[in-house]
């Protein structure tokens, strides 16, 4: 079966999911991101790699935070960025998703950054682009349903590599609502591909997908047990709407069992790092004493995230664009 993310030369054509990406591509993205870290720290935070390219932020689901990171990344690459709030646009007038895409391609779009409530929407777009023969137009999945959020997964890998150097000696714990998290899936696939020997998930049964073990992870329902000796703690955000259903008792009880407090963190390795995709619910899944501690690398994650998004956009639309 062909890999919808790669072109016929095995190069990245779209970023849909970390699942199925070869280790070489992951490493290429992380290495390119490293070269961009220096750009954002400059006085003039700009490189002309995407000058005159048109990047469309297609957000079918509102996310100012994620949209902003892509907008900044694109502007630092000197692209022209068009933000489309799709709820208000043509789809509301009955136009189909693919008609919208066709229209934007006809306006000479180079790159679509797509956020959608439905899993698979970015994939549908890439299949359509393939069908109409437009291999010069690229798609980045900025979060689709419960499926994937690959740039988040990649910036997490960047963060781990930055602090821990070698993936092949690590024990990594992912804690929280794995069931509803597109981030967790991306993380597990990335960690596996990069050779992390032990990946743990720590969560109540109600917040785990059935048969999650098949992904190659060790499951813990007791957080203290699960954190023992880990190098990296990756916290997940708890959607407040989960509290309202029957899944969980209360945010206090959740915090008691699965919130990351200093005493629980003390069970991890002394130099363990703490990660969170943001925005944090302080006092729900993470204690402020941990979030603001020296072990937390939550804000560096954000910084790395800009560099990773610049890398992905440059690999997709910069390099290939030059050859168009």
The residues of the shown chain that bind a second copy, judged by CB under 8 A, are 40-46, 51-54, 62, 64-65, 68-69, 71-72, 75-76, 80, 82, 84-86, 88-90, 93-96, 99-100, 102-108, 240, 278-282, 299-303, 305-306, 321-322, 324
What is the closest distance, in whole angstroms, from the C-beta atom of residue 272 to a second copy in the complex?
21
User: Which is closer to a second copy, CB of 18 or CB of 238?
Assistant: 238
User: Which is closer to a second copy, CB of 65 or CB of 205?
Assistant: 65
Residues composing the chain: 324
The answer to whether the Cα torsion of 122, 196, 239, 146 is positive or negative is: positive
What is the closest distance, in whole angstroms, from the C-beta atom of residue 52 to a second copy in the complex?
3
User: Which is closer to a second copy, CB of 68 or CB of 169?
Assistant: 68
Owner of token pair 């993205």: 29
Distance CA 321, CA 233 (A): 38
- DSSP one-letter string for 49-90: GGTT-EEEEEESS--HHHHHHHHHHHHHTT-EEEEEEGGGSG
What is the closest distance, in whole angstroms, from the C-beta atom of residue 127 to a second copy in the complex?
16
Distance CA 193, CA 186 (A): 11
- DSSP one-letter string for 153-171: HHHHHHHHHHHH--GGG-E
What is the closest distance, in whole angstroms, from the C-beta atom of residue 142 to a second copy in the complex?
15
User: Which is closer to a second copy, CB of 136 or CB of 198?
Assistant: 136
User: Which is closer to a second copy, CB of 95 or CB of 213?
Assistant: 95
What is the closest distance, in whole angstroms, from the C-beta atom of residue 292 to a second copy in the complex?
10
């Amino acid at each position: 079966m062909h890999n919808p993310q790669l072109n016929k030369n095995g190069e990245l054509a779209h970023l849909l999911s970390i699942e199925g990406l070869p280790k070489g591509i992951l490493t290429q993205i992380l290495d390119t991101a490293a070269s961009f870290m220096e750009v954002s720290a400059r006085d003039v935070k700009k490189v002309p790699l995407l000058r005159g390219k048109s990047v469309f932020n297609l957000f079918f689901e509102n996310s100012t935070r994620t949209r902003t990171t892509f907008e900044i990344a694109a502007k630092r690459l000197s692209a022209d960025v068009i933000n489309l709030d799709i709820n208000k646009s043509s789809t509301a007038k009955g136009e189909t998703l693919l008609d919208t895409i066709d229209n934007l391609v006809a306006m000479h779009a180079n790159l679509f950054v797509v956020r959608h409530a439905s899993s698979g929407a970015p994939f549908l777009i890439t299949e359509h682009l393939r069908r109409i023969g437009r291999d010069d137009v690229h798609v980045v999945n900025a979060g689709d349903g419960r499926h994937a959020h690959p740039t988040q997964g990649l910036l997490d890998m960047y963060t781990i590599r930055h602090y821990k150097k070698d993936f092949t000696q690590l024990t990594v714990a992912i804690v929280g609502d794995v069931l509803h998290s597109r981030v967790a899936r991306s993380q597990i696939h990335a960690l596996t591909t990069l050779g992390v020997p032990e990946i743990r998930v720590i969560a109540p049964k109600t917040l785990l997908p059935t048969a999650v073990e098949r992904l190659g992870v060790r499951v813990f329902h007791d957080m203290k047990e699960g954190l023992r000796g880990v190098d990296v703690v990756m916290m997940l955000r708890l959607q407040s709407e989960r509290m309202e259903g029957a899944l969980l008792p209360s945010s206090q009880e959740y915090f008691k069992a699965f919130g990351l407090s200093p005493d629980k963190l003390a069970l991890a390795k002394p130099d363990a790092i703490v990660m969170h995709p943001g925005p944090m619910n302080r006092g729900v899944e993470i204690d402020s004493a941990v979030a603001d501690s020296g072990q937390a690398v939550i804000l560096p994650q954000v910084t790395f995230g800009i560099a990773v998004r610049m890398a992905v956009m440059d690999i997709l639309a910069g390099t290939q664009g030059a050859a168009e």
